[in-house]
Amino acid sequence: MTEHAVDTPCVDAPAYEPDPRRWRILTVSLVIGFMALLDVSIVNVAIPSMREGLGTTAGTIQWVVSGYALAFGLTLVAGGRLGDAYGRRRMMLVGLAGFIVTSAAVGLAPSVALVIAARLAQGACAGLLTPQNSGLIQQLFRGSERGRAFGAFGLTVSVSSAIGPVLGGLIIGVAGESDGWRWLFLVNVPIGLLAMVGVVRMVPARLPSTDPADTRIDVPGALLLGATVLCLLYPVVRLEGGDRLPLVMLPGVLLFGWAFVVWERRTARHGHPPLLDVALLRGLPGYLNGLGVGALYFTGFTGVLLVTSLYLQEGRGFTALEAGLLMTPFAAGSAVSAPLAGRVVSQVGRRLTVAALVTMIGGVALTALVAPGRDPLWPWLVPPLLVAGLGAGAVVSPNMTLTLAEVPPRMGGAAGGALQTGQRIGASIGAAVLVTVYEAVTDAASDDAALRWSLLTGAAIVCLSLAMAVRALQVSRRAPGV
């Protein structure tokens, strides 16, 4: 029995007239999304190079990695709501201009303090850019085409995460260990300028809607949600550097989260546009479950790639380029399965997400059991990573397609931003947890044992995502029309 959630029209949707340029608009949007998401993972292989080039400690350099994720997560929902209110093109141009300037600032910064400051600003600009992708897809596509479009977006998410270490290693290998890391950021400048031309020429100023244009922004809601995310992400970021004092902020997650929900309900009751209509989203079948699937998946997935990169470079002595190339099969598997998953998600539904998660978990667990300590390593590492990549590529796009299927287009940016905020929070927590496991086992045993136990930890976390996906499948089967 198939699921029809993807094809269910929203009750407040305008009469749909497909834009003949919609696929070209999507291409421009995904180039920008790829660039923003790539900067999350591309620096994973650059930590040794940055330590050498800037003459600082690993704990300080960790802020270059985690600070971006922190600022990114803080601005996603607000960025999505701004796109809903003021139009996708305007927010894409503002965010892209800021991203280009801050990328140049990171690459040219003479000190580590300026690198971190520019990196935080770069993450905030990425948070303005990324939710416009899901918002545009919600508005430009319907039915099975929306599944294909989200398939392309899922490909962008998966491949940007998986190929980042490969590109980072290649750039550092060509430009040199000392200052090669700077080119990881400077390369964004010409690409961003070309993308800006594409946005101006292709993306419409505003897409038709039946709703009156209400550009009021829920500033208190944005501040409360930002405080909630900050109280969760900041202790995680500091924990990666060994600082446990910020853990006292964790109760603020419950306090500010509760205040955010109360405020959003009050705002909606008074007829003002909320930052995120929590009552509406709570009533949509599968939205909250899909949010949990995405957050838990990224918690396990992101840390897996990070600890594998650490093992290859620090445990086995591979260069950044060699480490990146050894992880290429994961990216290749994702590149194959993501677009295919987007094409069939309308027919298969949540069963596809469940099958993909099982495949990904099996690949990661197999890597953990057979790869550590092998010499030569590649025959034991490449096949299971390929299997894991095939599963991973088929998780993100179907989950986004099904989770956002019934979200009204007027809320597409904010709802997509909330979904991606969960992913960013999960990615940050996962990186901290798995790196902590890796370092603890390295100190007590060996690098081989550290890789094995950290990968098994990541697989166990993805099992939680699988449990949520099974729950979402059960909910979808009980929904009317299924």
- Report DSSP letters for 301-335, one per residue: HHHHHHHHHHIIIIIT---HHHHHHHTHHHHHHHH
> How far is the C-alpha of 166 from the C-alpha of 169, rounded, in Å?
5
> How far is the C-alpha of 425 from the C-alpha of 277, rounded, in Å?
20
pLDDT of residue 11: 42
The structure tokens listed for 140 are 């430009």
DSSP state of 248: G
Tens-binned pLDDT, residue by residue, of the chain (482 aa): 344 444 444 444 455 677 788 898 888 888 888 888 788 777 767 777 788 778 777 667 777 777 787 788 788 888 888 887 788 888 899 999 999 999 999 999 888 889 989 998 998 998 888 888 878 888 888 777 887 887 788 778 767 766 777 788 788 878 877 778 888 899 889 989 998 998 888 887 765 554 445 567 778 888 888 888 888 878 876 776 667 777 888 898 899 989 988 888 888 787 777 777 777 667 776 777 888 898 899 888 878 888 888 888 888 888 777 887 888 888 888 888 888 887 888 788 889 999 999 999 999 999 999 988 888 888 999 999 999 999 988 888 788 878 877 777 666 677 777 787 788 788 778 877 888 888 888 888 888 899 999 999 999 999 999 998 998 888 777 665 54
The answer to whether the CB of 308 falls within 8 A of the CB of 434 is no
> How far is the C-alpha of 3 from the C-alpha of 170, rounded, in Å?
43
Residue with tokens 């790196």: 435
CA 253 → CA 231, 238, 248, 256, 279, distances in Å?
6, 16, 11, 6, 20
DSSP state of 405: T
The pTM of the full predicted model, rounded to 2 decimals, is 0.77
CA 26 → CA 22, 39, 91, 95, distances in Å?
6, 20, 15, 17
pLDDT of residue 231: 86
Taken in order of first residue, the domains within the chain and their CATH numbers are: 22-204+218-476 (1.20.1250.20)
pLDDT of residue 467: 92
> How far is the C-alpha of 249 from the C-alpha of 120, rounded, in Å?
20
